[in-house]
Amino acid sequence: MGHESEIIGLGLTKEQFLVLMKMAYIANTIVNGRREDDDFLKEYDDLEQLIFARARQAFPAATWHHEVDGVEHNHPSQMFENDTELSKILDDYDRDTFWEELATRLAERDIERVYGRGAKAALPSEEYKHFLDDRTETYEDEFDKHDIANIKVEGVKDLT
């Protein structure tokens, strides 16, 4: 039994469509912004292109387009890259992700130092989660108070 794609329409105001364009830009930037061409998730870029193709009439300054081998490509214009609100959203996301990931990875490392490699699989899940949450919170509190000032990497000499 084949599955056919059903077209779903949305009725949006210009203001809502502008927010949709910003969401598409943010999403595709997060999903594909750091990927190499061979790892690119095309379906996200394709959807962004569809949205920006529809935006050309209502928001001509928000889009730019070109043709490649007879196929039209639509992209967000510099307006999005230069938008301070969008830059702040992406910067906040990057910063928060960095600190959360660092705290979690350090907590996981500490648990493995105490309970051995494979601690996550060896410990009961509730116990592991409790240890991980407590240790992650300890690192988050430290980073909130001192940022990176107290981070030292063994084997890397200070410049002073």
Q: What is the pLDDT of residues 31-66, one digit of tens each?
A: 999 999 889 898 999 999 999 998 888 888 888 888
DSSP lists the bridge partners of residue 76 as 63
- pLDDT-based confidence at 2, cuts 50/70/90? low
Rounded to two decimals, the pTM is 0.78
In 10 A of CB 50, how many CB atoms? 12
Q: How far is the C-alpha of 45 from the C-alpha of 60, rounded, in Å? A: 19
In 3D space, the residue among 98, 62, 66, 67 whose CA is nearest the CA of residue 80 turns out to be 62
Q: Domains of the chain: which residue ranges?
A: 14-81, 84-146
- Cα 15–chain centre separation: 24
pLDDT in tens, 83-120: 999 999 999 999 999 999 999 999 999 999 999 999 99
What 3 state SS string does 12-28 have? CCHHHHHHHHHHHHHHH
pLDDT in tens, 18-31: 999 999 999 999 99
Asked if 80 contacts 86 with a C-beta cutoff of 8 angstroms, the reply is yes
For 33, which DSSP code? T
